[in-house]
Structure 1
């Protein structure tokens, strides 16, 4: 009896071990744990395939208004932001020097006119003297020398008169130039627009001998031009006439639409690059971008010069199309044909079945499904391992 009591703890331990082994065996014989998937719903949504670019806003037409004559800027007739019309008076250069130059040119022309009248009188006298000499020469009433002298005097007066006519025409040109310079002291608007910058202030002196100094800048803000920088990899996919839209940083939810007007054939800073490279040089391994241009109306002047634009050029659209995340695509089995794994609601083991689908528009985020799937089915986008099955947002397809 004492030996049995002593052996009792060993028996209890043996029984416990036996029970554990039996439980482990039963667990191994049980059905395997069903696989866990990351899935996404098949949903209807609007899809866009676009070329993305960053751009800047510019005025459709911008003019640097400068001075063609030198002098002090006597007055500015407009302020920054003012709207002006073509021909409106903008600024005044001190006209005194230009007016004096005009008076001098007119006085020179008057002096030449007086000389012409004097020369014309001398010419008439020379003509009469030559006529008398010609009448007297056959009768030997005058010498050949006097006759030739009268003829030379006549030719000289005729030449002098012709020279004065040329000088008078030259003086007329000088008067026109001086009169134009007087007009240039009054600076007017060359276009309808808005004053977007004032470069020269009242009282400053402008020198216009080598190049026209800029007084102010005018821009037509009723239409805005978008200059989108498209990479060399994407520029071959776009062409004039395609629809493009952009958003601005201050209002990312509002889209501004337009049509591509032109795509510049040379990349940005092309001239600078050519002058830097010189003959036989090669360019550095830097990114190359081409400017794509399109215009949008800006009647309320909400858009401003140099704003940053997030540009999308539409390559294709699909309205309310069935779509799945690109991650759901499996093996490609033909043109626009792929295998996908679909969760079977009726399968007791929770496994996915493989199905073939026909795809359409693909924007590298979601892909259009034209055949093979129905709305609200769920497709596998990855394995979850031991984690619970992931659900996805209906609109974006992102796991949640």
Structure 2
């Protein structure tokens, strides 16, 4: 009796347990609620910018070269020295230009002496010509002698004109020699600092084909940044826009300025012209990235900026103060009227709303309607734990 009684209890409880299991799992009690990745709608200042890499260069830079041949006799300025416009920087051995000047002066003296001698001969030929004219008029002389005298006079006058031209040429040669002698003393063309010494004292410079560089001067109290703007962004970048940048060595310091100009052509156009002029090929140029330089200047009184530094540039295109913003990751499909779908979290459940957007950047977008500050929006769903 006891055995049958226990069996009835066991078999009687099985349907109850099964029903309970079905009820729990069937009603979803065993499925954990979905967890969402969310973001909060905030009010903040929003900026739209273009990011670019740039190079810091001196506001002015000049290569000081030699225009005559000779040995660099002395350098009057060294690396890092500050110089003033007109200050003597270097001297080239003046012996050859001095000799050329002396030679030109001697040539001028020689031509002038020939000119005076020819003038004396012309006076003699004129007297002889007039005398023979008188003889022919009195039928005491031959016409042939008169013609010879006339030819000598005309020839001497032509030679005198040639000597006058040679005098002018000799005077020009003297001026050229004087200029070349002056070129042996090289002066600073502007105020600046010596940022490179290219030719050392004692070296021989030859300027036959190109001007050899001795020193490089630059103005470092003001620097120019050349920001490389991609062709996709350059249509939105204009002169006058605010710009800021930092350098790799001091990333926490921000330098600010305004764009002075955007170059109308990329730097690559000069390289292409050189290649074409030299017979090179420009094949593959269409596949290369195209960048345009945006130029802006910044004071450098503390000399913290150095030439050829890399600048991380941000160009401000537009800004809105106290804008209602949300993460761009919250934007869903775009509707036909231009609005975007956004899933707003209400009582733990997402509800789709349509929002009108305004200014945006890579991280945030301005919301003009459809959401308010502190609303929670869904970015995605958290992955289920494995």
SS in 1 for 2:335: strand
Tell me the distance in 1 between the aligned counterparts of 2:176 and 2:278.
Answer: 41
Aligned to 1:294: 295
Tell me the distance in 2 between the aligned counterparts of 1:320 and 1:138.
Answer: 116
SS in 2 for 1:306: coil
CA RMSD of aligned residues (A): 2.8
SS in 1 for 2:287: coil
TM-score, normalising length from structure 2? 0.87
Comparing 104-113 and 148-157, the one that deviates more: 148-157
List alignment gaps of at least 5 residues for structure 1. 388-400
SS in 2 for 1:58: strand
Aligned to 2:102: 103
Contact 1:130 1:147 in 2 (8 A): yes
Aligned to 1:37: 36
Tell me the distance in 2 between the aligned counterparts of 1:277 and 1:236.
Answer: 33
Tell me the distance in 2 between the aligned counterparts of 1:69 and 1:327.
Answer: 67
Tell me the distance in 1 between the aligned counterparts of 2:20 and 2:145.
Answer: 155
Q: Does 1:310 align with 2:308?
A: no
Tell me the distance in 1 between the aligned counterparts of 2:35 and 2:12.
Answer: 37
Tell me the distance in 2 between the aligned counterparts of 1:206 and 1:115.
Answer: 38
Q: Does 1:366 align with 2:364?
A: yes
- Displacement of 1:226 in angstroms is 2.2
Count of aligned pairs between the two proteins: 379
Q: Does 1:270 align with 2:272?
A: yes
Deviations 1:88-118 (A, max 9, x none): 2111001111111111111111121122222
- The 1:27–1:302 alpha-carbon spacing in structure 2 relative to 1, beyond 3 Å, is same
Deviations 1:226-267 (A, max 9, x none): 222233333333344443332211222313322150233245
Deviations 1:317-376 (A, max 9, x none): 2223111101111232245522222222xx3xx213332222101213210112222222
TM-score, normalising length from structure 1? 0.85
Comparing 72-81 and 289-298, the one that deviates more: 289-298
- The 1:371–1:274 alpha-carbon spacing in structure 2 relative to 1, beyond 3 Å, is farther
Equivalent of 1:24, from 5, 21, 26?
21
Tell me the distance in 2 between the aligned counterparts of 1:61 and 1:235.
Answer: 25
Equivalent of 2:335, from 314, 333, 336?
333
Tell me the distance in 2 between the aligned counterparts of 1:258 and 1:166.
Answer: 59
Tell me the distance in 2 between the aligned counterparts of 1:262 and 1:67.
Answer: 34
- The 1:127–1:38 alpha-carbon spacing in structure 2 relative to 1, beyond 3 Å, is same
Tell me the distance in 1 between the aligned counterparts of 2:285 and 2:146.
Answer: 85
- The 1:135–1:274 alpha-carbon spacing in structure 2 relative to 1, beyond 3 Å, is closer
Residue correspondence of structure 1 range 1-400 to structure 2 within 5 A: 4=3, 21=18, 24-25=21-22, 27-28=24-25, 29=27, 33-253=32-252, 254-266=254-266, 268=268, 269-271=271-273, 274=276, 282-283=283-284, 286-300=287-301, 301-344=303-346, 347=347, 350-384=348-382
Comparing 31-40 and 267-276, the one that deviates more: 267-276
Tell me the distance in 2 between the aligned counterparts of 1:215 and 1:276.
Answer: 27
Tell me the distance in 2 between the aligned counterparts of 1:275 and 1:366.
Answer: 49
- Displacement of 1:286 in angstroms is 3.4
- The 1:44–1:193 alpha-carbon spacing in structure 2 relative to 1, beyond 3 Å, is same
- The 1:209–1:248 alpha-carbon spacing in structure 2 relative to 1, beyond 3 Å, is same
List alignment gaps of at least 5 residues for structure 2. none
